[in-house]
Chain A
Amino acid sequence: MLIAVLSGFILAAFAPWLARSVGDKAGWMLSLLPAGLFVYFLGFIPAVIEDGALVIHYTWIPGLDISLNFLVDGLSLLFALLISGIGTFIIIYAGGYLHGHPHLPRFYAIMFGFMASMIGLVLSDNLITLFVFWELTSITSYLLIGFDHENKHARWCALQGLLVTVAGGLALLAGLVMIGLAAGSFELSEILADGDVLREYPLYTAMVLLVLAGCFTKSAQVPFHFWLPNAMAAPTPVSAFLHSATMVKAGVYLLARLNPGLGGTDLWLYGLGIVGALTMFTGSFMALRSTGIKAVLAYTTVMALGTLTMLIGIGTELAITAAMTFLLAHALYKASLFMLAGALDHETGTKDILEMGGLRRLMPITFVTACVAALSLAGLPPLFGFIAKELMFEASLQAPGIAFFATVLAVASAIMIVAMAAVFATRPFLGDLKKTPKHPHEAPLSMLIGPVTLAALGLLFGVAAFIPAAAIVGSSVAAVYGAPVEVELYLWHGINLPLMLSILAVVAGVVLYRQWDRVLAMFERMTFIDRFGPERGYEHVMRGLDWIAAWQTGVLQNGYLRNYLTTIVLSTVVVTGWTFFFRADGAISLEDETGFTFYELGVAALVVMGAVVASVTSSRLGAVATLGMVGFGIALIYVLFSAPDLGITQIMVETLTVILLVLVLYRLPDFLNLSNPVVRMRDAAVAVSLGGLMTVLILAVNGVTVNDPISDQLVAWSVPEAHGRNIVNVILVDFRALDTLGEIFVVGLAAAGVYAMIRFRAEDKQK
């Protein structure tokens, strides 16, 4: 299992090389991995039907209780099958769609990374592991959306998607940690076994809201839906994958996954139900307004995500069954439609539906497949989409509390979706042949095999609905519902209210389709929708962030060393001093401070004199020399108190300081006294406050008695454990090697920083 999850990452590393050396047919070859995974996951079906869930253990970071456990139950298996199965076709398809693209090898690498993250996400049993994979999907999808990185708009869209989903991801992390603390375990299989623990947790509301923030941003729920259509900037294979089975479904997956633990409360019902229903309606409405072939599909995805969220929120047995059926149906037809849209765009050279027409003779296979997939989207018999839609209506009608609201929005959405499905399936193909930028002909096999297979599956599952019901839908419903559920799917439910609603939706949808041009013209005038959408909110937030960043940089990074020093010193004095005097007792003891020898006092006097002279002298060389006196005096003190290592280091540092000063001395401005007495008094006060605080602190430290100081242990261990008699060095390179590593990285960083500063200045001057 570990190999299955990680194989995508491994192949991601080799894919570019493979793609370059194999050339044209790389897509077919690379697709063997997801195809193999698909078969591998199929093999789990009997076990899952038998036992419900399997947990496969691997330890990862035992110290932090983070494991690489994988949970295989109906839900994760359904997702894993969709990801690997659709992934197979997407990889083949990409080989055709991006044929000859210079960055195709890179594309494969990111795509496999993304696919592997997604598989890891749905199979993780540990919440933290799940989160790691969750964020990996955000990052890889960022790279995929911004794949056309020389296009500014693509970069902007990618960044928008990343910021929205990662912001939600942070909230999610907090939510997941709370779940883990509440349940006392980070393993989903243990948490979900007893959901009441979570529901009775005092911070239940905050926990749910945080989790929802993560899921809603990821799955593009209102008001965060705006990033998803912009993700269309990605190449079509990516859109097809992102929208059908992966990325945006991750949020839905997590909602479904946590349903047994968090669901069943009013907050869950109304939060998910209302937001989901609104998203469903918004998606359908925006789809109706769009003419871009991918934009239409993107908004229908928003619709589907809203529907799924709403159904999970309703949470009845029926609703969960509807959700899982809808999920499967949507994945099949959406992947198919997207790939067809890509084929149309690839062959005609335009993305606008209004510019296409009469393609039925030139692209007959595309046309037939589009009809089948669109019928499933519209929810007409005998397609699988019809069963899903019937169930959805039925679940909405029986929804506790929000039945009326949900049903009205569901029917309204269905009407608009029927219209758009009809537009998609007929506009590009019927009528007169329109002149397009490219001369169209049927797409290559690599670009047809995916959509044709998936559309055919949609038809097969509709006619023989017992196959998916028995194989996977039943066990996934049980996983989401938290208890075994009898699932039987039929095309024909008899004449009942859901069927009536379906007929109403189809009839009204066809009417709307006939009037679509007029509707479009009407929407043209309604530009205010764009002006007040949540996307404007995103832009305002981003502009605000820029403004705050510029403002605080101006205030904090003002470029004056004296201000930096004052800031650092005063914060130290205030924070440390406050802690010392008000939170600790602030007591100092002078009992042990007796018995100085005359030479100790002599050195101390030299140091003090040097410091005083350095601060009042009017010559720079004098200041350097007296500071040197302070430094060497301190080195002497180290030597007197038997710390030869410190002494030597201090002497070396003093020497190098002098060398550096010599090098920069000529470049410094004149040594003038420009500050007025008031400023000087202020600076003196700041300096004295720090010196005074340090003195008091050191005296206080001396008065603290530690029962069993660690230094004794270090001394005792030094020779037997670390084979060294110089304890300072043993601590540096052995006992606290990690600290030293951090310190030398700082040394390296400082050197690189100084180098860059000096070099860039020199280059600027040359210009």
Chain B
Amino acid sequence: MTTMGSLILRTASRFLLPLLLLFSVFMLLRGHDEPGGGFIAGLVAATGFALYLFAFDAGRTRELMWADPRVLFGLGLLAATLAGVPPILVGEPFFTAMWWPIEVPGLGEIKLSTPLVFDIGVYLVVLGGVMTIVLALAEAEE
């Protein structure tokens, strides 16, 4: 696995990975209104890292990720669970959606909400979960 990637793949993946990650964030944020959402976005991001993995190796990929993928899916589960908590504080049932739309100059309205936090949690779980498996498989080979 260590010397598998060709020069073309390496060069391409360097440019493709940021684009794919950007695209995944785009898919994540637009998911509430257009096709997309945390699940798809997480898969897109995981594909990006997997591409990088093929071009380089597991160690480089690990360095590039912000955190250990196991930490990522743990954080994701935590975020998704906590997204259900705020309504309890105001006396609503667990997971009642709460919305705080805010106006940002130049960008228009941004809909901050507990479902958004939940979706980010889903994103992290999918990304972390898939990358945990992929990296473990890749490293087992070495």
Contact = CB atoms under 8 A, between A and B. Distances in A.
Interface of A: 644-645, 648-649, 652-653, 655-656, 659-660, 662-664, 666-667, 722-726, 728-730, 732-734, 737-738, 740-741, 744-745, 747-748, 750-752, 754-755, 758-759, 761-762
12 contacts: A645-B35, A649-B39, A652-B44, A659-B50, A660-B133, A663-B134, A723-B113, A726-B33, A729-B31, A737-B97, A750-B133, A754-B132
Nearest to B129: A751
Contact of B32 (A729, A738, A750): A729
Nearest to A732: B37
Given A660-B137, A723-B113, A733 B125 contact: no
B50 A726 contact: no
Nearest to A748: B73
A608 to B, nearest CB: 26
A725 B34 contact: yes
A725 B39 CA distance: 17
A740 B38 CA distance: 11
Main secondary structure of the interface of B (DSSP, over half): helix
A724 B99 CA distance: 12
B25 interface: no
Nearest to A63: B93
Contacts of B55: none
Contacts of A748: 73-74, 76-77, 125, 128-129
A755 B70 contact: yes
Contacts, number: 146
A737 B134 contact: no
A741 B84 contact: yes
Interface string B106-142: 0000010101101101100110111011101111110
Contacts of B116: 733
Contacts of B118: 733, 737, 740-741
Interface centre among A644, A724, A732, A751 (most CB of B within 10 A): A751
A255 B54 CA distance: 69
B133 A726 contact: no
Contact of A730 (B32, B139, B141): B32
Given A738-B94, A741-B80, A755-B136, A729 B121 contact: no
B37 A744 contact: no
Contact of A729 (B37, B46, B136): B37
Contacts of B34: 725-726
Contacts of A666: 141
A655 B47 contact: yes
B83 to A, nearest CB: 8
A744 B37 CA distance: 14
A758 B58 CA distance: 15
Contact of B37 (A653, A733, A738): A733
A732 B47 contact: no
Interface in B70-95: 70, 73-74, 76-77, 80-81, 83-84, 94-95
